[in-house]
Chains A and B, each alone.
Chain A
Amino acid sequence: GAVVSQHPSWVICKSGTSVKIECRSLDFQATTMFWYRQFPKQSLMLMATSNEGSKATYEQGVEKDKFLINHASLTLSTLTVTSAHPEDSSFYICSAQTAYGYTFGSGTRLTVV
């Protein structure tokens, strides 16, 4: 089946630095990738939708200059959290749209100290 590989699975960074999270579709081409954020004991909140070769569409309230999304190829989408602060600490999950529905990455636990 369709598999999305997400890396890293966890990362700790210092406040003010940037962190890049990668999601790769391993056996299919992902035209559309969704990025979610999940705080403890809460649901997944959609941050943005990225389409290969075009600018990402951000949900209301999500800062596009802080959460940079790149979807330059059909198998790779990246989310860069720029100038990270402790309040950005969260679980970030990508999801690719497939012919059969949606498939999710395993998530990245970001801790900003």
Chain B
Amino acid sequence: GESVGLHLPTLSVQEGDNSIINCAYSNSASDYFIWYKQESGKGPQFIIDIRSNMDKRQGQRVTVLLNKTVKHLSLQIAATQPGDSAVYFCAEARVAQKLVFGQGTRLTINP
């Protein structure tokens, strides 16, 4: 079936640096994309979303970029902090329909 995948399963960055997490999706009909953060033993926490009529959206310290031509999604975290350590998932859906999650990237922060 169709799925959303990630290029890197793990990412290690220095505290204060910027982090970039990538995601490739395969369903060209998807029009809604979300990034989630998951800490151990907890449910996913919403970070930021973007609809297919946009190619960039910014939040507090986070930016999501969408490239529909190559079906690629990325999450940029500015000035990475220890509290950013977690697993990050991208998810895609057609609006108001089921979410499909990617594999996940574990982000670790080096002091």
Give, as a whole number of angstroms, the nearest-CB distance from A1 to chain B: 10
Give, as a whole number of angstroms, the nearest-CB distance from A23 to chain B: 10
Number of A-B contacts (CB under 8 A): 43
Interface bin, chain A: 20 to 34
Whether B42 and A46, one on each chain, are in contact in the complex, defined by CB atoms closer than 8 angstroms, is no
- B82 at the A interface (CB under 8 A): no
Given A43-B102, A46-B100, A102-B99, decide whether A109 and B43 contact each other with a Cβ distance below 8 A.
no
* Interface of chain B: mostly helix, strand, loop or mixed: loop
* Interface of chain A: mostly helix, strand, loop or mixed: strand
Give, as a whole number of angstroms, the nearest-CB distance from B95 to chain A: 9
Interface bin, chain B: 10 to 19
Whether B41 and A101, one on each chain, are in contact in the complex, defined by CB atoms closer than 8 angstroms, is no
Given A93-B43, A107-B41, decide whether A101 and B34 contact each other with a Cβ distance below 8 A.
yes
Chain B residues closer than 8 Å to A82, beta-carbon distance: none
Whether B44 and A93, one on each chain, are in contact in the complex, defined by CB atoms closer than 8 angstroms, is yes
Whether A101 and B104, one on each chain, are in contact in the complex, defined by CB atoms closer than 8 angstroms, is no
Q: Which residue of B lies closest to A102 (CB)?
A: B99
Residues of A within 8 A of B (CB): 6, 34, 36, 42-46, 49, 60, 91, 93, 95, 97, 101-107, 109
9 A-B pairs closest in CB distance: A104-B43, A44-B101, A107-B43, A43-B101, A106-B43, A104-B44, A93-B43, A43-B104, A43-B103
Residues of B within 8 A of A (CB): 1, 34, 41-46, 49, 89, 96, 98-104
List, sorted by A's number, 10 A–B pairs whose CB atoms are closer than 8 Å: A6-B43, A93-B43, A93-B44, A95-B99, A101-B49, A102-B99, A104-B45, A106-B42, A106-B43, A109-B41
